[in-house]
Amino acid sequence: MKKAIITGITGQDAAYLAELLLGKGYAVYGTYRRTSSTNFWRIEELQIEKHENLHLLEYDLVDLSSAFRIINDIRPDEIYNLAAQSFVGVSFSQPIATANITGIGALNLLEAIRTINPKIKFYQASTSEMFGKVKAIPQSEETPFHPRSPYGVAKVFAHWATLNYQESYDIFASSGILFNHESPLRGKEFVTRKITDSVAKISLGMQDVLELGNMNAKRDWGFAKDYVEGMYRILQADKPDVFVLATGRTETVRDFVDMAFKAVEIDIEWSGEEEKEVGKNVKNGKTLIKVNPKFYRPAEVDLLIGDPKKANDILGWKAKTTLEELCEMMVISDIERNKNGKSY
Ligand code: NDP
Ligand code: GDR
């Protein structure tokens, strides 16, 4: 039985990846950090939390000694490093913590692999945020980086550390540069889930207005479940490498809002500009969306659109779910949760 460690098992991607690997017969060791209250709702929603081959263990990414201990104890075949301080907005207020967790955290694991067993395969969760102020449209594996947040900077460090350990010590260490991917398991601090949860609440009469920041940001949004399949394939490739996973389509935050309200049969009419912009219900003129500059970031990533050709050619990977399907799936799931009084 193959053994995989997935860091950050309480997060969105780790839950879907654990489900995928358990289905393939792996023993999965999911790591979580100690918090005052547990947050295993994602693996509970997927109904894998009691799976006989899922083992949960405490691990904090910043603790090098724990990296050595878990790798020494488990002796895994593969490690998927998905844990991170992953919220771009918070990285501006907690830059040092973000650098330690998101940047050095990956290096801790690489050091432990190099020392204990360089044959362990390593996947690093890199990100389109590394492209930041983009140097090419669309962005591919060849596009230079220009990160625009402490999070992006920390991820560039972890990305290059991964490649450096591959080149220096011949470790099968690969990096997936993944564009935004969402799902009903997405955290509510991220814009898509914030929107779908609010649309659900507004349609149920539980909320009046949705407040957002930059409406013009463009993102290449896909479905997380499609993307974890790509992560798995990256570690099964003939050689370690870097791959972009993306849909190749980009839309604004405003477009996503329109799409989410369409799913509950509300059409939005937009007026005003920048912080004066509002979105109204076409039918009754009620204001449903307002811009609040408190959600603006000190530096913004304006436009992301990925070129997934290499992943398609070498891994046979393609994003299968359309943005319309994804958005509707998220709205429906949030309507059900809100009806049932679930707050996550
Ligand atoms: P989530 O924010 O849902 O999950 C992050 C996980 O990291 C959580 O389990 C969190 O634990 C854990 N974590 C945070 N700090 C620490 C720490 N100090 N020690 C151990 N664990 C910690 O992220 P996603 O699932 O969305 O993303 C997975 C990875 O992919 C992340 O590295 C992210 O940066 C990256 N990425 C994500 C993309 C996306 O669009 N989703 C796109 C590109 C890259 P807790 O629950 O306790 O907070
Ligand atoms: P992002 O995702 O920063 O791309 O990082 P997020 O959903 O937070 O923001 C996307 C865009 O929407 C704009 N925006 C808002 N964002 C949030 N969160 N809340 C708002 O109210 C709001 N209004 C407008 C943002 O300014 C931004 O332009 C995600 C994370 O998953 C990272 O970990 C990952 O690496 C990247 O995607 C790829």
Q: Residue 210: its pLDDT value, please?
A: 98
pLDDT value for 212: 98
Atom of ligand 2 nearest to the CA of 179: 38
- Among this protein's residues, is 98 annotated catalytic? no
Q: Can you tell me the distance from the alpha carbon of 304 to that of 221, in angstroms, rounded to the nearest whole number?
A: 9
| Ligand closest in space to the Cα of 149 | 2
Query: Contact at 8 Å (CB) between 17 and 230?
Result: no
Return the pLDDT at 229: 98
Q: Residues with Cβ < 8 Å from 88, sequence gap 6 or more?
A: 129, 149, 151, 152, 297, 301
Q: What phi and psi values does residue 146 have, to the nearest 5 degrees?
A: -150, 75
212 lines ligand 2 (CB under 6 A): yes
Tokens at 209, concatenated: 């207005």
Indicate the helix (H) or strand (E) that contains 251: strand 251-252
pTM (2 d.p.) = 0.98
Q: What is the pLDDT of residue 295?
A: 97
Q: Whose CA is nearest to atom 19 of ligand 2?
A: 191
DSSP-H helix ranges across 9-131: 12-23, 41-45, 64-74, 88-93, 95-98, 105-116
Q: How far is the CA of 278 from the centre of ligand 1 (A)?
A: 32
Instruction: Walk me through the domains of the chain, giving residue ranges and CATH numbers.
Output: 3-182+222-245 (3.40.50.720), 191-218+251-301+322-339 (3.90.25.10)
For residue 37, the model assigns a pLDDT of 87
Choosing from 19, 29, 123, 129, the catalytic residue is 129
Active site annotation includes 129:
yes
**Looking up tokens 């550390």, which residue turns up?**
161
Contacts of 106 (CB under 8 A, 6+ apart): 61, 81, 124, 157, 158, 161, 162
By three-state DSSP, how is residue 247 classified? coil
Q: Give the pLDDT confidence score for residue 294 in this predicted structure.
A: 97
Cα 260 → chain centroid: 20
Residues with CB under 6 A from ligand 1: 8, 10-14, 33, 35, 39, 60-62, 82-86, 101, 125, 127, 178, 180-181, 187
Residue 96 has what pLDDT? 98
Give the span between the Cα atoms of 331 and 321, in whole angstroms.
15
Sign for the CA dihedral angle at 5, 7, 11, 17 comes to negative
Angle between helices 323-339 and 191-203 (to 10 degrees): 50
pLDDT in tens, the chain (344 residues): 999 999 999 999 999 999 999 999 999 999 999 988 889 999 999 999 999 999 999 999 999 999 999 999 999 999 999 999 999 999 999 999 999 999 999 999 999 999 999 999 999 999 999 999 999 999 999 999 999 999 999 999 999 999 999 999 999 999 999 999 999 999 999 999 999 999 999 999 999 999 999 999 999 999 999 999 999 999 999 999 999 999 999 999 999 999 999 999 999 999 999 999 999 999 999 999 999 999 999 999 999 999 999 999 999 999 999 999 999 999 999 999 999 998 89
User: Quick check: is 227 catalytic?
Assistant: no
Report phi then psi at 31, rounded to 5: -100, 145
What pLDDT was estimated at residue 343? 81
Residue nearest to atom 27 of ligand 1 (CA): 13
Nearest bound ligand to the CA of residue 108: 1
Q: Which of 139, 148, 228, 232 is nearest to 181 (CA)?
A: 228
